[in-house]
Amino acid sequence: MIDVENLKLEELLAIAVRAEMDAKETYARMADSVDNFVLKDRLRFLSAEEEKHRQIFTGILKRKFPNSSVKIPESGEVPLPDVKFDDEMVNISEVLQQAMDAEMAAHEFYAAMRDKAEDEEMKKILDYLSSAEMGHYYLLETEIKAVKYAELFDNYNEMMHVGP
């Protein structure tokens, strides 16, 4: 996907900033589009997480490359999987699956950057960010199952109100 080997670290960081900006927007738009309030809340949480990641990447760029002239790429220029959906979100599971693919790609991208970085501080932060995206991947996997089995859960919740 991203040519981690041949791009400079500051270029990779700029790509990561854009990736996080897009991810934040995508989750925010998904959150606006779904009715299920638990899923809405989860998607808002993910959006806020990606905003924190953007801030961290922006911070690294400024701190480690204070004189960099590298520009943050535009949305379409980042070779990472896109999450495509219209605002009706007809097939929520399918959209969540795309988001899972994007998280896995981000996880792998940051792990490759971590391995390339020589600065111990940067390695650690990239290691953290790589783990965080893996966490998102499994959160989304769980939400897909929650959406698929929603009716079953409703049945059990009903039962809860009947019991002692």
Contact pattern from residue 105 through residue 134 relative to a copy of itself, giving x for each residue in contact according to CB under 8 A and a dash for the rest? ----------------x--xx-xx--xx-x
- Please work out the total of residues on this chain that contact a copy of itself, with binding judged by CB under 8 A: 34
Q: Is 159 near a copy of itself (CB under 8 A)? A: yes
Q: Is 91 near a copy of itself (CB under 8 A)? A: no
Cβ nearer to a copy of itself, comparing 67 with 88: 67
Q: Is 71 near a copy of itself (CB under 8 A)? A: no
Q: Is 60 near a copy of itself (CB under 8 A)? A: yes
Taking each helix axis as running N to C, give the angle between helix 9-33 and helix 92-116, from 0 to 180 degrees, rounded to the nearest 10: 160
Per-residue burial over 60-83, b if 16 or more Cβ lie within 10 Å, else e, is bbeeebeeeebebeeeeebebbeb
